[in-house]
Chain A
Amino acid sequence: MASASEAHADDHGHGAENARETFRGITHDVTKVNLTPIGRWWYPAFGISLLLLGMLVVAVTHLFRTGIGIWGNNNIQGWAWDITNFVFWVGIGHAGTLISAVLYLFRQDWRTSINRSAEAMTIFAVACAGIFPILHTGRPWFAWWMIPHPNDMGMWPQFRSPLMWDVFAISTYATTSILFWYMGMVPDLATLRDKSKDKVRQVVYGLLSLGWRGSARQWHRYERAYLILAALSTPLVLSVHSVVSFDFATSQNPGWHTTILPPYFVAGAIFSGFAMVMTLMLPLRHVLGLKHIITQDHIHAMCKVTVATGTIVGGAYAIELFTAWYSGNLYEWFTFRNRILGPYAWAYFIMVSCNVIAPQFFWVKKFRSNLVFVWILCAFINVGMWFERFVIIVSSLARQALPGAWGYFEPTKWDFMTLAGSFGLFGTLFLLFVRFAPVVAMAEVKAVSPAAHAGKDDH
């Protein structure tokens, strides 16, 4: 609340000097994270992340040497945690694009304080997601066959397969997100270059800032490019997770074969993405001392998006259930009954509690203001969204049409290590980002800060 009132106080400040002070303050607060020794919290956090990453390396090495059999997947459930993790991470990656692109186009200025880290989160989440399609193949050394390439045998991928569409959707998304993120970072990297005292930083940031001088022409081109990229990215928000959902929707498995999946997946992805942003931002703004930049208002806004998308997700669950019953399709209706009452009922109830019930607290301002509580709920939502994918994938596959071929998936320690390891990969990348890149889009924050508008009045 303190930072909010500070920001409010700034509203009354007028004059260029005041604005310069504000801008300097922002620059200082953000760049100090990169340019001064970081707080002690960073080292244990990074250590744990590295440890988990190491676990991933071990798990993947063992996987490549031994085969998919180290996981619990079986001949009834060809996919299990591998694809659950994949969809989970892709979903996490959604908030980034939404915040950067869609909210930008809709001129939602509050996005500026969180868009950089949300974009970074997107890229790292997509990186985590991206490894699973490769890891989950039986012969990962041939996974490149899924990429169309000219060859003397004239072999092409099979374009009717949604997995092929996935390859394109995810790679497009990753490329666009990286461009967007990096391009947006250029002015701030230049700021870091200018503020750096030591040679190494000056050279590295200098190279990364691509010769940014901050001239009006550069700014003009930058703004145009940013707008174009935002426009290009916007459809991706809808397309990527829709395509991911096609993996399921276009199959003929009861529980997968439903037309509601694309919007339902997109809503779920935004939902989980915002929850993840908050999971990361709440502690970060605390430890990095950025409470006045990422304010309580921002948290209120994010909580509202979360409750909105969470409610959409809950509605989707209900519609899905209704459709299964209304369709009169024996197998479809059974699959949903089995989700709720069958051997995976526990997973279904975790999913519903975390995704539908938990976010309802965000209707109340008092709950949204209790940051510890918000953080816990967001953590629950992350768990719930992982379970949503688990329920869709694993519980549907467990009991398909022929009862003679029903099974039950049990994870192995390698499944756990791979999942935990993917968090290690994410954590490592994110902590490196926090340490070495501007976590807040300084230029943008400055542009939308009240001081900037105050300055404009002077012209």
Chain B
Amino acid sequence: MSSLNNSESPDVTPAAAAPATPTHGYWTSLDELAPKAAAPEAAGEPVVDPLNRRNFMQLMGASMALAGVAGAGCKRYDREEIVPLSRRPEDMVPGVTQQFASAFEMGGVTNAVLITSYEGRPIKVDGNPEHPFAGGGVVAGTTRHAGSSVFAQGSILHLYDPERSQGVQQGGKGSTFADWQKQAGLMGLDPNWNGVRILAEASSSPTIAELRRRLQSQYPGATWYEWEPVSFDNERAGLRQAFGKPMRALAHLDRAEIIVSLDCDLFTEHPASAAYSRDFARSRKPDGGSLGPGKMNRLYAVESVYTHAGVVADHRLPLRSEHVLPFLQAIDAALGGGGGGGGEVVKEAKVDKFLKALIGDLQAARGAAVLVAGRKQPAAVHALVAKLNGQLGGALVSYYDDPEPTRLDHADGIAAVVRDLKANQVETLFILGGNPVYDAPADLDFAAALGQAKASVHLSEYVNETSAKTTWHVPKAHYLECWGDARTWDGTWTLQQPLILPLYGGVSTIEFVAQLLGETKSAEQLVREGVEAAGGQWRASVHDGYVAGSTWSPAQAAVGALPPVAFTGTPTSAGGNGTFEVTFSPSSTTWDGRFANNSWLQETPDFLTKVTWDNVALLAKDTADALHVHSQDMIRITVGDKKLEVAALVMPGQARGSVAVFLGGGRTKAGSVGNKGGEWKGGGWNTYALRTTAGLDIAVGAKVEKTGGTYIIATTQDHWDIRQGHALADEPITGVGDKGTRERMDRIVKETDLATYQGASYLAQQEEPYFHDHKHHRGYSTFEEHQYTGRKWAMAIDLGSCTGCNACMVACQSENNVPVVGKREVQRNREMHWIRIDRYFKGDVADPEVVSQPVACQHCENAPCEQVCPVGATLHSSEGLNEMVYNRCVGTRYCLNNCPYRVRRFNFLDFHKDLKDARNKVRRLLFNAEVTVRERGVMEKCTYCVQRIQSAKINAKNAHNRGPLPDGTITTACQAACPTEAIVFGDLSDPESRVSKLHGDRRQYELLSDLNDKPRTRFLARVRNPNPALATDAGAHGDH
């Protein structure tokens, strides 16, 4: 896993490497790649790639001709020529994957990643465990590990998206790079570039920052603004208030005993979410993780809409987002800071009780308590959080100077551009990435203002809404196609290494800006010079993925006097229509809309609503009842003069009077996947229509009304565990399903609290009451059971760590070539995910507890599926895997029916049908060559990533190591992706392996153990750490 390869050869300089046009299909080595990728436009012609437009047309023509000749019913394989390489590139062995470190940046937030490449094709993204920020250290019970996110996992799908922009466009018509260069030169820019504006998406790249500085000194007339619809600039502004200069904060959750999440999605939205997820999980081990023996953290979440933090919180308080400020002021007052004290908001009995308990804990845990506020919260909250964190000891938060202190906050940046445009001060507007026509605040009317510029140029991966309105569109390269760099939240300089030539001839932002500046050096050279100028070792840095020693040192900063802030929001007592707040959050799947054309992500269910393909508005149960709104009703939300029609979903745990909407839907020029379609296609609604500069994250005074229409929402889990919360699965007569769920929940999801767990008698796995047999011991089977002499693969999943982030789902999809089925098929329960995350609510509909349970094939030793297959297509391996023989499967689906975990997935249709389209041929390059692509009519399911097991065994054999594989040699895709290390895989025959130890843990239990299937995957009971002062409130364990 950790055998990083560095194919960048130091003695091949761009001059020395002859940029010969590759005669074979794909690029073969970075030697070849470097010079070509660096200056594709300088060569005068787009880079020849296997699927440029001309080849593509030939291909399509040929396919059609072939189809005509072959006729129907006569299936032939396409004629392909396989040309061997005349010399083998260094380190490249056919059929053996390689891994390269790179960086994936999204909205200025950087993920250090490790890319798996199969014969020149990047096929998989994972976290880079060697990276100091992504990997972190090692504590007891963990290994060096870097998880990833759904977005990092999904990002690779865009690389092979045939709908990515394939060429320069002028006024919507095809053009060429040469034309663009000629035109760009002739644009008649003023020598000082007066009237030139640049609107860039956020980037943490030091090279871009350097180019920007050069641009501004070279052309003082130009102004560079930054806009990012989802950013953490509220914190920047708040810390500016607190410290007098923009800063960023990084909390050290691994040392925190009390964590207070204020409307903050710690584990996905926060720029440091990778570190937060890992650190949180490490201080949450009931047996003693990073906090030492017997200690685990306690998480409080105060939020209007469920976040991943709310899922794992010990105590969660649903509170309107705008009420977080007075809530925080009340904490401030109690901790001796004086101030307003929260006023009416905290008078409510429930809030008051929660607040008192929280304050008690904070006071008791000074020095080990930390507060984190979310991106929606206004600057005042962030400033106050900084102050309180200082008062609580301050050691748990590091502050760093903002790398670009003079930059305008994003909301101000886009407003300034629009102001300049409207004042006719803009001759040429360069839009570097992003999609402001779609995602700019609605009141600015960016699309109209854009028309005021004489010329506008959009650098973008897709010809999107913005490209359609600009005079020029220039294709942007995917991040795996170009050199670049970025900084993680703690400043670690991370290098973005390309793995393939641009498939469609795009350029990177660095190349684009460099070209504007007349720079002749390649992007690689620019990055390299930057790194070397800072004292970094280039080759080692490329290999490791980061520049050693580049992590910032925390700055010393003291919180100054904060201006008193009076809460002027909606009072608690005002609950009627017209006083609602609307909160804007990025979608957990399409983010701000940039992943709209990503079918993997569109089909990934939201972590709590389980809604796929759409972004629905969430309402609390009593709010919905007051409005007579039911799930799947269309509602109209009005904020000021802005209106939005969107489907509603009644959400347990949503704050009263707070409507949550999610960004990233309703695209019109995203591509065939992401464009808003009909009810059966999904695509969601453009919620930016409601988002104005005044209410960028929280809008108040909103009115909600039913339109009378309905809309079918496709969810992957149809049930709610709350009687009145039944939304999608209607109970015609009584809540029998609800009752049935409640009575069995304590068998399916086992939970306990820390005190009980620490008692000596705690054992999660209980004897099943109706398997007391006088003759036989528990686990007696009438069948002759398998005997294992060698390795025994097994898995353990810690329910206490799972935040439900879905990274495992997308990782599995990517690793195992799992098809996407579309909204209609999801609605019919035909989604193909091999691992799903069940979520269950418990308790009060207004304030439930929730748990996420990842369920994949349990690899039962007495597998019920194996007994019933008439053709023996599902079998048991000698190492305990339950294996599928796709070739043998005739598709009776009996195995599916007999699987009590319902983890088997049937190919009801030919879900890869569209790959037959010549346009989609490129998408085949993404397939993991080690995993069969299943045809219609066969069953499939989790294999424990058997291809990884086999490959590890082969490697060990080749290395003449016939002994046991060292623990940790094999990681499954879901395990590798899990940011909280909740999934552990290994060999049970090795008593020292982590999984063996977890299988012997007191927390372990088998799911549905009464069936005696003996699953090889075991769950670890979730241990909560409730505050005794709130324990009765927490919903009485046992009241399921």
A250 to B782, CA, bound (A): 13
Residues of A within 8 A of B900 (CB): 252-253, 400-402
Question: Which of B734, B769, B894 is most buried by chain A, counting CB atoms within 10 A of its CB?
Answer: B894
A405 at the interface (CB under 8 A from B): yes
A402 to B1015, CA, bound (A): 15
B888 pairs with A76, CB closer than 8 A? no
B891 pairs with A137, CB closer than 8 A? yes
Residues of B within 8 A of A343 (CB): 729-732, 737
User: Which residue of A73, A138, A400, A404 is within 8 Å of B838 (Cβ)?
Assistant: A404
Size of the B side of the interface (Cβ < 8 Å), in residues, is 68
A75 pairs with B870, CB closer than 8 A? no
A69 to B937, CA, bound (A): 9
For residue A397, which residue of chain B has the nearest CB?
Answer: B897
User: Which residue of A167, A330, A402, A408 is within 8 Å of B902 (Cβ)?
Assistant: A402
A161 pairs with B890, CB closer than 8 A? no
A252 pairs with B864, CB closer than 8 A? yes
A139 to B871, CA, bound (A): 12
A73 to B907, CA, bound (A): 11
B908 pairs with A67, CB closer than 8 A? yes
A66 at the interface (CB under 8 A from B): yes
B898 pairs with A167, CB closer than 8 A? no
Residues of B within 8 A of A337 (CB): 736, 740
User: Which residue of B830, B831, B839, B938 is within 8 Å of A404 (Cβ)?
Assistant: B839
Chain A proximity mask over B892-936: 1 for CB below 8 Å, otherwise 0 = 111011101111111111100000000000000000000000011
A66 to B935, CA, bound (A): 12
CB-CB contacts below 8 Å: B1004-1025 with A: 1007-1008, 1011
A455 to B894, CA, bound (A): 59
A260 at the interface (CB under 8 A from B): no
A215 at the interface (CB under 8 A from B): no
Total number of residue pairs linking A and B with CB closer than 8 Å: 210
Least Cβ–Cβ distance between B338 and chain A, in angstroms: 49
Residues of B within 8 A of A74 (CB): 828-830, 908
Chain B proximity mask over A161-179: 1 for CB below 8 Å, otherwise 0 = 1111001000000000000
A407 at the interface (CB under 8 A from B): yes
A337 to B904, CA, bound (A): 26
Known pairs A68-B908, A158-B872, A403-B719; A163 contacts B902 (CB<8 A)? no
Known pairs A251-B864, A406-B729; A67 contacts B743 (CB<8 A)? no
Chain B proximity mask over A117-149: 1 for CB below 8 Å, otherwise 0 = 000000000000000000011111011011000
A75 pairs with B840, CB closer than 8 A? no
Residues of A within 8 A of B1011 (CB): 252, 401
Residues of A within 8 A of B891 (CB): 68, 137-139
For residue A393, which residue of chain B has the nearest CB?
Answer: B897
User: Which residue of B732, B744, B829, B868 is within 8 Å of A76 (Cβ)?
Assistant: B829
Residues of A within 8 A of B906 (CB): 68, 75, 78, 138
B770 pairs with A328, CB closer than 8 A? yes
A405 pairs with B737, CB closer than 8 A? no
Residues of B within 8 A of A253 (CB): 897-898, 900
Least Cβ–Cβ distance between B736 and chain A, in angstroms: 4
A337 to B872, CA, bound (A): 35
For residue B828, which residue of chain A has the nearest CB?
Answer: A74
B748 at the interface (CB under 8 A from A): yes
- Describe B's contact surface by its main secondary structure: loop
Least Cβ–Cβ distance between B127 and chain A, in angstroms: 27
Residues of A within 8 A of B733 (CB): 341-342, 345
B867 at the interface (CB under 8 A from A): yes
Residues of A within 8 A of B745 (CB): 403
Chain B proximity mask over A251-264: 1 for CB below 8 Å, otherwise 0 = 11100000000000
A77 to B906, CA, bound (A): 11
User: Which residue of A76, A145, A334, A345 is within 8 Å of B890 (Cβ)?
Assistant: A145
Least Cβ–Cβ distance between A453 and chain B, in angstroms: 52
A117 to B1008, CA, bound (A): 50
Residues of A within 8 A of B864 (CB): 251-252
B871 pairs with A406, CB closer than 8 A? no
Size of the A side of the interface (Cβ < 8 Å), in residues, is 61
Residues of A within 8 A of B869 (CB): 158, 161
B905 pairs with A139, CB closer than 8 A? no
Residues of B within 8 A of A5 (CB): none
A142 to B887, CA, bound (A): 10
For residue A66, which residue of chain B has the nearest CB?
Answer: B909
Chain A proximity mask over B635-666: 1 for CB below 8 Å, otherwise 0 = 00000000000000000000000000000000
A410 at the interface (CB under 8 A from B): yes
A42 at the interface (CB under 8 A from B): no
User: Which residue of B730, B732, B825, B871 is within 8 Å of A146 (Cβ)?
Assistant: B871
A408 to B936, CA, bound (A): 22
B897 pairs with A78, CB closer than 8 A? yes
B741 at the interface (CB under 8 A from A): yes
Chain A proximity mask over B853-879: 1 for CB below 8 Å, otherwise 0 = 101000000001001111110000000
Known pairs A75-B829, A251-B898, A404-B855; A167 contacts B717 (CB<8 A)? no
Known pairs A137-B937, A139-B938, A342-B737; A404 contacts B867 (CB<8 A)? no
A146 to B901, CA, bound (A): 26
A330 to B746, CA, bound (A): 12
For residue B610, which residue of chain A has the nearest CB?
Answer: A404
A73 pairs with B898, CB closer than 8 A? no
Question: Which of B747, B853, B864, B868 is most buried by chain A, counting CB atoms within 10 A of its CB?
Answer: B868
CB-CB contacts below 8 Å: A398-422 with B: 399-408, 410
Known pairs A334-B740, A402-B900, A403-B737; A73 contacts B908 (CB<8 A)? yes
B870 pairs with A146, CB closer than 8 A? yes
Least Cβ–Cβ distance between B595 and chain A, in angstroms: 25
B836 at the interface (CB under 8 A from A): yes
Chain B proximity mask over A231-258: 1 for CB below 8 Å, otherwise 0 = 0000000000000000100111100000
B889 at the interface (CB under 8 A from A): yes
CB-CB contacts below 8 Å: A52-67 with B: 66-67
A9 at the interface (CB under 8 A from B): no
A404 pairs with B840, CB closer than 8 A? yes
CB-CB contacts below 8 Å: B127-165 with A: none
User: Which residue of A156, A397, A403 is within 8 Å of B721 (Cβ)?
Assistant: A403
Chain B proximity mask over A281-314: 1 for CB below 8 Å, otherwise 0 = 0000000000000000000000000000000000
For residue B909, which residue of chain A has the nearest CB?
Answer: A69
Least Cβ–Cβ distance between A66 and chain B, in angstroms: 6
Residues of A within 8 A of B853 (CB): 404
A404 pairs with B836, CB closer than 8 A? yes
A438 at the interface (CB under 8 A from B): no
Chain B proximity mask over A317-354: 1 for CB below 8 Å, otherwise 0 = 00000000001111100100110011101100000000
Question: Which of B721, B839, B888, B898 is most buried by chain A, counting CB atoms within 10 A of its CB?
Answer: B898
Residues of B within 8 A of A67 (CB): 907-910, 936-937
B840 pairs with A403, CB closer than 8 A? yes
B753 at the interface (CB under 8 A from A): no
User: Which residue of B734, B829, B871, B937 is within 8 Å of A145 (Cβ)?
Assistant: B871
B908 pairs with A334, CB closer than 8 A? no
B718 at the interface (CB under 8 A from A): yes
A200 at the interface (CB under 8 A from B): no
A346 pairs with B770, CB closer than 8 A? no
B871 pairs with A158, CB closer than 8 A? yes
Residues of B within 8 A of A77 (CB): 829, 897
Residues of A within 8 A of B830 (CB): 69, 74-75
Residues of B within 8 A of A450 (CB): none
A334 to B743, CA, bound (A): 9
Known pairs A251-B897, A337-B740, A404-B853; A163 contacts B718 (CB<8 A)? no
12 contacts between A and B (CB under 8 A): A75-B896, A138-B906, A138-B938, A138-B939, A139-B935, A155-B871, A158-B872, A163-B892, A338-B740, A342-B733, A400-B902, A402-B1007
B residues at A contact (CB < 8 Å): 717-719, 721, 729-734, 736-737, 740-741, 743-745, 747-748, 769-770, 825, 828-831, 836, 838-840, 853, 855, 864, 867-872, 888-894, 896-898, 900-910, 935-939, 1007-1008, 1011
Closest 3 CB pairs of A and B: A138-B891, A404-B838, A138-B937
